Amino acid sequence: MNVQGLTGARVLLGVSGGIAAYKAAELVRRLGDAGAEVRVVLTANAARFVTALTFQALSGNPVRSSLWDESAEAAMSHIELARWADEVLIAPASADCIARLAHGHADDLLTTICLASAAAVSVAPAMNQQMWAHAATQANLALLRERGVRVFGPGSGSQACGDIGAGRLLEAGAIVAELIAARGPRALAGLNFLVSAGPTYEDIDPVRFIGNRSSGRMGFAIAEAAAQQGAAVTLIAGPVALATPAGMTRVDVRSAREMRDAVLAQAARNDVFVSAAAVADFRPQIMAPQKLKKTGGALELSLVQNPDILAEVAALPQRPFLVGFAAETENVEEYARAKLERKRLDLIAANQVGAGLGFEQGDNALLLLWPGGGREQLARADKRDLARRLVARIGEQWRAAREHT
């Protein structure tokens, strides 16, 4: 990590309540090592886990914890702090803190500063794995992301409560690295990214369809990561229940043929196409105009093959850098390498699916392969973390390909 990557940055570190609050002390030290000036605000619950004196000694600045500090608030110190910061980083960010931020509460010093400041805001969540997975928490995070709040992590592993899963606070070094990357030169500035995400639905009749279990999370995370790195992103989304990440154009489709038309309309004007959608391979040959009724016997469907979108894009006279996905239940590397070569891809991301892996999960693991024997294993992590690492690799491979043309 660039040890001076935050030189001159004024970082207001908010520490919310939770056992991970003790890790914020190391974070203050790491932020200082990276060149930042740090001031710390503790929530009332955080002060039950850690003391202000610790953070004052590490930061060299007074620590604030209350809106009702008469000596500080006589000079409207919460407004002074809001104006002083050019980065607000909340780590750990508890489920309660995230909920209050998402809904615009200003009932303590930290949330008041967040509303009163024009600074960039980042949160590093830390909570029990079930709290992290809860629909309310995910909806609150989606709201924050729509407003441009950065979300760092969480990591996955054993937790203080004894559970295992996503929800661990990222290590201090990783949080600082994320903050440096977010503030630094954006590696994909000037590039146009086209990303497809989610499933396709192939209608049997007006009521029923053939589909798959893709949630679209991986594709949306890739689109978000590319936009954060400066790319102009067009996201083509199948039927998913996900909010559009900030800073991109979204096109909604339902069927494979609709997705094919949308992709081909955009592909030639893009530098990179990431085909993360789980496109149905087959569709009913005929869609029944009315709901099919039970007849007491078997229902036979005649299926025809859907267009191969990647193959069509690969055949374009002016084709973008092509990134495909391979979701496999066995022989993952073998099948992915074969797909890479057969479809003339520039990179493929392969993952094992089934038995709690891949689809409908908040985390994943990826094996990246590219021509010439290139290989990189990305260990199981939150899909947004994986997306950032995948997008970084895409950028490197795109630049390498340009140098050889």
Tell me the per-residue pLDDT of 113-126, one tens digit each, with 9 for 90 and over. Answer: 999 888 889 999 99
Decide if 245 contacts 223 (C-beta within 8 A): yes
- Name the residue among 28, 23, 22, 29 with its Cα closest to residue 40: 28
Q: How far apart are CA 8 and CA 96, in angstroms?
A: 31
Q: How far apart are CA 220 and CA 146, in angstroms?
A: 12
Q: How far apart are CA 299 and CA 288, in angstroms?
A: 12
Mean pLDDT of the chain: 88
Answer yes or no: do 29 and 161 share one domain. Answer: yes
What is the bridge-based pairing of β-strands 363-370 and 374-382? antiparallel
CA 349 to chain centre: 16
92 preceded by cis ω (within 30°)? yes
pLDDT confidence of residue 354: 59
Q: How far apart are CA 287 and CA 270, in angstroms?
A: 34
Answer yes or no: do 274 and 215 share one domain. Answer: yes
List the domain range (segments joined by +) for residue 46: 10-183
pLDDT confidence of residue 404: 73
Answer yes or no: do 313 and 213 share one domain. Answer: yes
Q: 183, 210, 233: which is the final residue of a domain?
A: 183
Of 76, 115, 118, 161, the active-site residue reads 161
Condensed to tens digits (0 to 9), the pLDDT of residues 295-335 reads 888 888 899 999 999 999 999 999 999 999 988 888 889 99
What is the bridge-based pairing of β-strands 150-151 and 120-125? parallel
Q: Does residue 2 form part of some domain? A: no
Answer yes or no: do 199 and 160 share one domain. Answer: no
* 97 among known catalytic residues: no
Report the CATH number at residue 318. Answer: 3.40.50.10300
Q: Does residue 70 form part of some domain? A: yes
Helix (H, G, I), strand (E, B) or coil at 299: coil
pLDDT confidence of residue 2: 39
Helix (H, G, I), strand (E, B) or coil at 398: helix
Query: What is the DSSP annotation of 227-275?
Result: HHTT-EEEEEE-S---PPPSSEEEEE--SHHHHHHHHHHHGGG-SEEEE
Condensed to tens digits (0 to 9), the pLDDT of residues 174-230 reads 888 888 878 877 788 889 999 999 999 999 999 999 988 888 989 998 998 898 788
Identify residue 164 by its one-letter amino acid code.
Answer: I
Q: Pick out the chain residues at pLDDT < 50.
A: 1-3, 73-76
pLDDT confidence of residue 3: 45
Answer yes or no: do 67 and 212 share one domain. Answer: no
pLDDT confidence of residue 355: 56
pLDDT confidence of residue 103: 93
Q: 131, 150, 183: which is the final residue of a domain?
A: 183
Q: Does residue 261 form part of some domain? A: yes
Answer yes or no: do 280 and 171 share one domain. Answer: no
Residue with tokens 């006279």: 317
Answer yes or no: do 178 and 215 share one domain. Answer: no
Domain count, the chain: 2
The kind and range of the H/E element at 179 are: helix 172-183
Q: Does residue 3 form part of some domain? A: no
CA angle 255–232–279, rounded 5-degree value: 20
Decide if 50 contacts 42 (C-beta within 8 A): yes
Q: 131, 151, 183: which is the final residue of a domain?
A: 183
Q: Please name the residues in contact with 381: beta carbons below 8 A apart, sequence gap of 6 or more.
A: 155, 156, 363, 364, 365
The kind and range of the H/E element at 11 are: strand 10-15
Q: How far is CA 262 from CA 48, 163, 164, 256, in A?
A: 54, 43, 40, 10
What is the bridge-based pairing of β-strands 155-158 and 202-203? unpaired
Q: Does residue 105 form part of some domain? A: yes
Answer yes or no: do 149 and 170 share one domain. Answer: yes
Q: Does residue 293 form part of some domain? A: no
Q: Does residue 162 form part of some domain? A: yes
Answer yes or no: do 262 and 351 share one domain. Answer: yes
Tokens of residue 375, six digits: 């290989």
pLDDT confidence of residue 74: 47
Answer yes or no: do 158 and 251 share one domain. Answer: no
pLDDT confidence of residue 71: 57
Q: Does residue 363 form part of some domain? A: yes
Answer yes or no: do 218 and 117 share one domain. Answer: no
